[in-house]
Amino acid sequence: MSISETKEAFDPEYLRQKYEEERVKRLRADGNEQYQEMRGDFSHFIDDPYVENPINRAPLEDEVNVAIIGGGIGGLFAGARLREAGVEDIRVIEKASDFGGTWYWNRYPGAACDIEAYTYLPLLEELDYMPPRKYADAQEILSHCQNVAKKYRLYDNACMQTEVEKLVWDEASRRWTIYTNRDDKIKARFVLMVNGPLNRPKLPGIKGISKFKGHTFHTSRWDYNYTGGNSRGGLTGLKDKRVGIIGTGATAIQCVSYLGESAKQLYVFQRTPSGVDFRNDHPTDSEWAAGLKPGWQKQRQKDFTAVISGRGGRRGEIEQLDQFDDAWVEMGKIYRRRMRELGSDVQPGDAGRIYEFANFEKMENVRNRVEDIVENKEVAEALKPYYAFMCKRPCLDDRYLPTFNRDNVQLVDTDGQGVEAITETGVIVDGVEYEVDCLIFATGFEVGTDYTRRAGYDLIGVDGISLEEKWSKGMISYFGIHSHGFPNCLLIGNGQAAFTANYPDALDEGALHTAHLIKHFLDNNISRVDATEDAEMAWTAAVVGTKAVTMMGGSTCTPGYYNLEGQHDPRSRYNQPYGGMVGANKYFEKLAEFRDGGKFPGLELS
Ligand code: NDP
């Protein structure tokens, strides 16, 4: 049977057209500019509601060998791998009052990770910890992060509740000076920037947003004093409240069911539905856990990244798919089944079509799931995502869809246009005002904006050049780690580096690599390390040369933060990961090759 003869339960032509209609109706000329930065009148939205012991300390003027900026999962890996390498003089600088990064801030009800805990949680073997269930929730992850910090003594010498404002390179002393909001002037031989990609929450620039007189907050600063309860539910403070939530991304999908079961009335304002897949959480199989061999977690992470990116992996065997049984890998399994069914009839050039049909089938499953669960047909239709898998972040949740069968919950679908206006008392959609006592913004984080804006600080390098200026037309780097003119500063992130849905895998690879380099530099009295211009131009060219189709949320997708809100910003080619969506394991190999060779070509050392 050839590919054109397969019998399908869907009409591919209809789906192609429908996807395109849904995309086009959401495009807007203002792209990323539609969002409102949390500054000025809106700065209270980012105040930290979780601080228990506000720190009051004198400014520091001292020196460390390595300053790590950021105490999230990346900063924890960086600290742990440096300690393992024998680097002792470390300081983590973090704006929150504890470690955890995204898991420090995101404590909204239902917050949990939807990548399996065996793969996602950092350093399980090192901490001798086996998660009790397949998926870990925010409380478990935050406490695990704190345990990592304790084990590797990262609380020692750390500066918590401290925000970096500027980094300045001094050529004479070959040191960075780190200026903070506490008037610190900390000198460092090496700086590791691990700020995280989603650390600055954003608000929509909806007309009238500052007029609202009721209670309001962003999901990453959940106000439990108002709602009662905690991230595991029990929001008793909402029992007599009308609540509105704007946004239906991965965050809203997790917290809506908790709001629905506690609020007197809940309005969910939707612009684009998320694809909500099965979660099927279950306790950890103790027999399986007992049989694991040392090194299992790293191997599992590599296998997961390989199957997610659809490329190669261990001995190139696709069988590694079978050890995972979640919605992330279902797409790969459908593709494999279709290939098998076609057998020897697969022709050269069929792969694209087989992938497209596998993707249609996968998303039909997601849409059928909505129909099976949501009783009201009109509501069910509005909740169906019409775009390809991975255009938006897939969500794994078994509680969200049934919430729309509750009498006190109403979906307010905006047909892709978004909320029209906000008044003193409520939210307007299509000319109708929905009055609310509490308005929650589940509107996400800055992603496509400039690196320095997201980091919250700029770097002033050799001859006074600023990183903001240098990267104003897009990122220029060597391995996504070094940038010429900014010596002794190393970056662990995903721009020009690795993308994998299991982000900790990429963070750990970056941490292992940079710890190895820094240890070598310190042991060999190398006081200045900079990438050559040639090396970074060649690396950047390789990144830019990757076809846009392999980027997350390509140009045929509905707008969102995966594709810079559907705008054709040439900077996105520069800022994308190495190899686009499928280059992670290749990138890791390149890092290993570079450091194991011991010669570090492309770096100038003195
Ligand atoms: P997102 O950016 O994914 O979602 C923002 C939501 O706000 C979207 O639904 C968007 O609609 C909506 N929105 C924006 N402006 C308007 C408007 N004017 N009117 C109506 N709606 C509007 O943010 P999230 O916080 O949900 O998720 C961010 C990321 O955090 C995820 O993608 C994921 O990477 C991570 N995350 C991870 C989890 C995990 O399990 N590991 C769990 C939760 C989050 P539209 O889609 O149309 O733009």
Q: Is residue 403 part of a domain?
A: yes
Please enumerate in sequence order all residues whose Cβ is within 8 A of that of 461, keeping only pairs 6 or more positions apart, or say none: 169, 467, 470, 485, 486, 487, 489
Mark whether 410 and 470 lie in a shared domain: no
What pLDDT sits at residue 285? Answer: 97
Final residue of a domain: which of 419, 444, 469?
444
Domain co-membership, 497 together with 390: no
Q: Give residue 383's identity as a one-letter amino acid code.
A: L
In a domain, 541, yes or no: no
Sequence-ordered list of residues with C-beta below 8 angstroms from that of 423, at least 6 positions apart, any chain: 208, 211, 212, 433
Q: Atom 21, ligand 1: which residue's CA is nearest?
A: 247
Give the residue, out of 121, 251, 561, with the most ligand 1 atoms within 8 A of its beta carbon, to mutate for a pocket test: 251
C-beta separation of 200 from 36 below 8 A = no
C-beta neighbour count of 64 within 10 angstroms: 19
> For residue 205, which atom of ligand 1 is closest to its CA?
18
Beta bridge partners of 188: 64, 176
Q: Distance from the CA of 507 to the center of ligand 1, in angstroms?
A: 22
Return the H-helix or E-strand segment holding 571.
helix 571-575
Find out whether 503 and 308 touch, Cβ atoms under 8 Å.
no
> Is residue 182 included in any domain, yes or no?
yes
411 in the same domain as 510:
no
SS3 readout for 84-126 = HHCCCCEEEECCCCCCCCHHHHCCCCCCECCCCHHHHCCCHHH
Same domain, 207 and 188: no
Which is nearest to 490 in space by CA: 81, 15, 111, 113?
81
CA dist 526 and 283 (Å) reads 49
230 pLDDT above the threshold of 50: yes
Q: Domain range for residue 23?
A: 1-36+203-280+325-444
Inside any domain, residue 555: no
Residues 266 and 404 in one domain: yes
What is the distance in A from the centroid of ligand 1 to the CA of 256? Answer: 13
3-state secondary structure of 56: coil
Same domain as 237, residue 171 = no
Is the pLDDT at 261 greater than 50? The verdict is yes
Q: Answer whether residue 586 is part of any domain.
A: no
Residue 405 lies in a domain: yes
Rounded percentage of the chain residues whose pLDDT exceeds 70: 97
CA angle 259, 262, 268 (to 5 degrees): 30
Q: Is 247 in the pocket of ligand 1 (CB under 6 A)?
A: yes
At residue 208, the pLDDT reads 96
Q: Which of 135-139, 146-150, 532-536, 585-589 has the lowest mean pLDDT?
A: 585-589
Q: What is the DSSP string of 514-566?
A: HHHHHHHHHHTT---EEE-HHHHHHHHHHHHTS-GGGSSS-TTSPPSGGGGGG
CA of 443 to the centre of ligand 1 (A): 5
CA separation for the pair 443, 377 (Å, rounded): 27
- Check which CATH number belongs to the domain holding 347 and give it: 3.50.50.60
Model confidence over 44-101: pLDDT tens digits? Answer: 898 999 999 999 999 999 999 999 999 999 999 999 999 999 999 999 999 999 999 9
Distance of CA 51 from the midpoint of ligand 1 (Å)? 25
Q: d(Cα 216, Cα 212) in Å, to the nearest integer? A: 8
Q: Would you say 279 and 257 are in contact if contact means Cβ atoms under 8 Å apart?
A: no
pLDDT of residue 146: 98
Assess whether 159 and 228 both reside in one domain: no
Q: Give the pLDDT confidence score for residue 318 in this predicted structure.
A: 56
Domain boundary, last residue among 444, 477, 506: 444
Task: Tell me if 155 is assigned to some domain.
Answer: yes
Say whether pLDDT at 449 is over 80.
no
Confidence of residue 547 (pLDDT cuts 50, 70, 90): confident
**Does residue 603 belong to any structural domain of this protein?**
no
Query: Dihedrals φ, ψ of 64, to 5°?
Result: -130, 160
Domain count, the chain: 2
Determine the pLDDT at residue 320.
65
- Specify whether 104 is located in the same domain as 118: yes
SS3 (DSSP) at 150 = helix
Position 549 scores a pLDDT of 47
For residues 247 and 339, membership in a common domain is answered with yes
Cα 471 to ligand 1 centroid, rounded to whole Å? 26
pLDDT at 543: 94
* Selected residue with higher pLDDT from 583 and 444: 444
Collapsing DSSP to helix, strand or coil, 32 comes out as helix
- Angle at the Cα of 427 (from 50 to 232), degrees rounded to 5? 35
Residue 87: CB within 6 Å of ligand 1? no
Tell me if 439 sits within 8 A of 246, measured CB to CB: yes
| Cα R_g (the chain), whole angstroms | 24
- Same-domain pairing of 332 and 398: yes
Condensed to tens digits (0 to 9), the pLDDT of residues 90-130 reads 999 999 999 999 999 999 999 999 999 999 999 999 999 99
pTM, whole model, 2 decimals?
Answer: 0.95
Confidence at residue 455, expressed as pLDDT on a 0 to 100 scale: 81
Nearest Cα to Cα of residue 101 among 577, 492, 583 = 492
pLDDT score at 315: 39
Please tell me whether residue 171 adopts helix, strand or coil conformation: coil
Residue 292 pLDDT greater than 80, yes or no? yes
Residues 341 and 239 in one domain: yes
**Total Cβ atoms within 10 A of residue 51:** 13
**527 backbone dihedrals φ, ψ, rounded to 5°:** -105, -5
pLDDT at 568 over 80: no
- Residue 312: what pLDDT? 43
User: pLDDT digits over 316-358, tens only?
Assistant: 445 566 788 888 888 888 888 898 888 888 888 888 888 899 9
Domain boundary among 484, 509, 530: 530
Q: Give the Å distance between the CA of 441 and the centre of ligand 1.
A: 10
Give the mean model confidence (pLDDT) for residues 260-278: 98
Please state, in angstroms and rounded to a whole number, the distance separating the CA atoms of residues 298 and 585. 12
pLDDT band for 582, please (50, 70, 90 cuts): confident
| Distance (Å, whole) CA 165 – CA 184 | 10
Q: pLDDT per residue over 140-154, tens digit each? A: 999 999 999 999 999
Instruction: Decide whether any atom of ligand 1 lies within 6 Å of the 501 Cβ.
Output: no
> 3-class SS at 478?
strand
pLDDT in tens, 157-207: 999 999 999 999 999 999 999 999 999 999 999 999 999 877 789 999 999
Ligand 1 atom with the shortest distance to the CA of 35: 15
* Separation of CA 351 and ligand 1 centre (Å): 31
CA distances from 72 to 88, 140, 153 (A): 19, 15, 15
Tell me: do 145 and 69 sit in the same domain: yes
Confidence of residue 548 (pLDDT cuts 50, 70, 90): low
Name the residue of 390, 393, 428 whose CB sits within 8 Å of the most ligand 1 atoms, as the mutation to test its pocket. Answer: 393
